[in-house]
Amino acid sequence: MAKRNENEFVFVPLGGVGEIGMNMAAYGFGSPFNRKWIVVDCGVTFGGPEQPGIELIMADPTFLDEEADNVLGLILTHSHEDHYGAVLDLWPSFNKPVYATDFTTSMLEAKRIGNNISEKVHVINMKPNVPFTLGDFKIEAIRMAHSIPECNSLLITTPIGSALHTGDWKLDENPISSLPTDEKRLKEIANRKDSLALICDSTNATKTGQSPSEAEIAVTLENLIKNAKHRVAVTTFASNLGRVISIARAAQKAGRQVVLSGLSLHRITTIAKELGMLEDLEPFLDQDAYAHLPRNKVVLICTGSQGESRAAVSRIARGVHPVVDLNAGDMMIFSSWAIPGNEKEVLDIQNQLIDKGVEVITNADELVHVTGHPRRGELTQLYDWVNPDLLIPVHGEAMHLEAQAELGKSHGIKQVFSIRNGDMVRLAPEPEVSQSEVRVGELYLDGDVLCTPSESGVRGRKRLQFGGIASVSLCLNKKGQIISGPDMNIIGLPLLEDDDKDIMEQIVEQAINGVMRSMPPKRRSDEKRLNEAMRRAVRSALAGYWGKKPNVSIFVHVV
């Protein structure tokens, strides 16, 4: 990308560019063969139907592992899972410091204790507008409004150029749990002498206008709670402390007490209380107090806004929560919206509640949720404030990235690069993209095991999911005659009976007998050949009847 000994300032997204979640980026400075690196964020995304059994997915740090001696540290923009959720899994092996604000540090420590993780990471406190250095990098956190406290953009300065890494942000003059975006400091950046690359959140780049304020949501929640006749339950993202505060304030004004249900809610509110963020609120009650409060004197805040089966709202909807129930005439407010991929699970819960006679309120009915990300009007406002020479859209799927790229070009930004994970961008001197320069990929957290997709066994699980399995075991003597079996275990295939015997078992037995008749005794002594012949015959016979190809395992024992 440059001359062998020329210093460069480069940017490499390892996750979060071309997808929502799993944010992880590296900034490098030095000559192509002697660079030092800083890492920004280390997040996760959640496994879906395409990854059965997988809970968390994170960016593959192989590139950073290869550069481990040159990695200087990790800087966290904020404590949402998609930005810090992989720190405890990936970062301890680097043995390098983590820089974070007080709130993010507390969230990280609570997460470590809650997950029984013994290995700690070394965290250094980071404060807005107080620059610190790592090698040739000077980093300054700049306050940004978002849906969680202490969210920051990062101004990263090198001897040859700068970058503003926005993290997650919006322009909100009245945020609930934090201070507004630091407009004054952002405008000062426009007076710089060097070039500036804007590495910018694209999540809402397809939406026009400006995102509503959290203060507007607070007004809606206050009216709904004040006018409710019976119990009110609200589910929201547990990390949205501002929303929790708005709900609690509305409850106090209506003379109701707040009950929390969900470990993640208790975790974040405990941290917020320790940091002095809940001083005007009455203490929250645990869910055990719920049954003892009058129906018109309680507001329940519960986890599970994304349809998680084990979370509080799902268990309430199914009527299996140990202490919390909702009855006809009660109200459930979904102060959230479904992350893509979770729509069906959320809708199922809402329908279950409606069947119980519960009044369900969503953003389609009232303004009860607002995003923490900038719409197009906010993006152009930031462009005008910082006046970037180069725009790189990040944090989004293809449609979001391209929408911001188009917006930046139409707004007159000199250079706009559309990139994906693994592309290496030279930010200075002379910006340029080298596509697919760096190895990227995913790691799965499968139970307690961290593994690559190929190691995870997910491919086999998907085969089992769609084709079931027929396992057959039989014993032969040394003359090739069956002396026991075939015994079989058929899972996931249709259970059809004919003359009190399962049809699939009949088909398997006929296929096994067919192989035994067609194969001479001498050839049956070759266990491997006999096993494969039976596997193919059983699979073909079942597929011929069922119309689908099952997974088949044959176990031949010669005794």
pLDDT tens, 279-300?
889 999 999 999 999 999 999 9
pTM for the model: 0.89
The two counts, helices (H) then strands (E), for the chain are: 16, 30
Q: Is 275 exposed, middle or buried (0-12, 13-18, 19+ CB in 10 A)?
A: middle
Pairing verdict, β 482-491 and 469-476? antiparallel
Distance CA 254, CA 225 (A): 7
Phi first, then psi: give them for residue 326, nearest 5 degrees. Answer: -120, 145
- Domain 468-558 fold: Ubiquitin-like (UB roll) (3.10.20)
Radius of gyration of the chain (CA): 29
Q: What is the predicted pLDDT for the residue at 3?
A: 56
Q: Where in the chain is the domain with CATH 3.60.15.10?
A: 8-209+371-451
Q: Can you point out the beta strands (E) in 395-458?
A: 415-416, 424-428, 432-434, 442-446, 449-451
3-state secondary structure 308-338: CCCCHHHHHHHCCCCCCCCCCCCEEEECCCC
Instruction: Give the pLDDT confidence score for residue 4 in this predicted structure.
Output: 59
Give the C-alpha separation, 176 to 140, whole Å. Answer: 24
Whole-number Cα distances in Å, 259 to 283, 289, 304, 333, 547: 9, 7, 15, 15, 53
The CATH architecture that domain 8-209+371-451 belongs to is: 4-Layer Sandwich (3.60)
Give the tens place of pLDDT for each residue, 230-276.
Answer: 999 999 998 999 999 999 999 999 999 999 999 999 999 999 999 99
Segment-wise mean pLDDT, segments of 10 residues, the chain, 559 residues: 76 95 96 95 87 88 95 97 95 94 95 87 96 98 95 97 97 89 96 94 96 94 97 94 96 97 94 92 95 95 89 94 95 90 89 97 94 96 98 97 98 96 96 89 89 86 86 87 87 78 87 88 81 92 91 88
Q: β-pairing, 137-144 with 424-428?
A: unpaired
Length of the chain: 559
Q: Which two tokens stand for residue 421?
A: 């994970």
Work out whether the CA dihedral 324, 268, 272, 185 comes out positive or negative. negative
Q: Of 301, 279, 270, which is closest to residue 110 (Cα–Cα)?
A: 270
Give the architecture-level CATH label for domain 214-361. 3-Layer(aba) Sandwich (3.40)
Instruction: Considering the chain, tell me which residue range(s) the CATH 3.40.50.10710 domain(s) occupy.
Output: 214-361
Burial class (CB in 10 A: 0-12, 13-18, 19+), 97: middle
Q: Which two tokens stand for residue 341?
A: 């991929």
